[in-house]
Amino acid sequence: MTLKTTLKLTAAAASLAVLAGCASTSALEEVRMTAESAQADAAEARSIATQAQNTANQAQRDARAALQMSEQNREEMNRMFERSMRK
């Protein structure tokens, strides 16, 4: 091989190495962006889950209050019925 051919091959190899390095950096950047997006999605999902839990807790409190009110009404109806039967 001549010196000129060797220099050309070395330059080509160096260019390929630089391009491979850029591709690696680009791939790493893409992976980083994907990870950040996944973290944002997870945070949003956590927020939605927290809201859903709060809504479910409120619904449970409302259901307990409604049950208590229903039991009170039933007791009052029974007392009224008993009073009407005594008359």
Q: Which of 2-6, 32-36, 42-46, 69-73 has the highest mean pLDDT?
A: 69-73
Q: What is the pLDDT of residue 86?
A: 85
Model confidence, pTM: 0.56
Distance CA 27, CA 38 (A): 16
CA 69 to mean position of chain CA atoms: 37
- pLDDT surpassing 70 at residue 85: yes
- pLDDT tens track for 14-63: 665 655 666 577 777 888 899 989 999 999 999 999 999 999 999 999 99
- pLDDT tens track for 40-52: 999 999 999 999 9
Neighbours of 7 (CB within 10 A): 10
